[in-house]
Amino acid sequence: MKKRKRRKKNKKGFVAAVAVILISGGGLYGVMDYLDSQGIPAKEAVGKITDLFQKKKDVASSTVAEGEMYVTFLDVGQGDCTIIQTKDGNMMIDAGNNSWGETVVAALDERGIEELDYLILTHPDADHIGGADNVLREITVEKVLMPDVENDTVTYTEVENLISEKQIPVDHPYAGAEYALGDAAFTVLCPQADGVSENDLNSSSVGIKLVHGENSFVMCGDAEAEAEQEMTAQFGTALECDVLKCGHHGSSTATTPEFLAATDPTWALISCGKDNSYGHPHAEVMAALEDADVQVYRTDQQGTITCVSDGKELHWRTEHE
pLDDT band at 319 (very low <50, low <70, confident <90, very high): confident
Segment 10-34 mean pLDDT: 52
Buried-state track 174-212, b at ≥16 Cβ within 10 A, e below 16? bbeeebebbbbbbbbbbbbeebbeeebbbbbbbbbbbbb
Nearest alpha carbon to residue 75 among 94, 90, 52, 48? 94
Query: Beta strand 89-93 with 118-120: parallel, antiparallel or unpaired?
Result: parallel
pLDDT band at 291 (very low <50, low <70, confident <90, very high): very high
Mean pLDDT value across the chain: 87
What tens digit of pLDDT does each residue of 172-183 get? Answer: 999 999 999 999
Please state the φ and ψ torsions of residue 176, each to the nearest 5 degrees.
105, -20
pLDDT band at 193 (very low <50, low <70, confident <90, very high): confident
pLDDT band at 247 (very low <50, low <70, confident <90, very high): very high
Task: Tell me: pLDDT of 14 over 60.
Answer: no
Segment 290-306 mean pLDDT: 97
* Cβ partners under 8 Å of residue 20, min gap 6: none
| pTM: predicted TM-score of the whole model, two decimal places | 0.82
Q: What is the pLDDT of residue 29?
A: 52
Contact of 288 with 257, CB cutoff 8 Å: yes
Task: Tell me: pLDDT of 192 over 70.
Answer: yes
The SS3 call for residue 78 is coil
Segment 27-31 mean pLDDT: 55
Segment 67-92 mean pLDDT: 97
Segment 100-129 mean pLDDT: 97
Is it true that the peptide bond before 147 is cis, omega within 30 degrees of 0? no
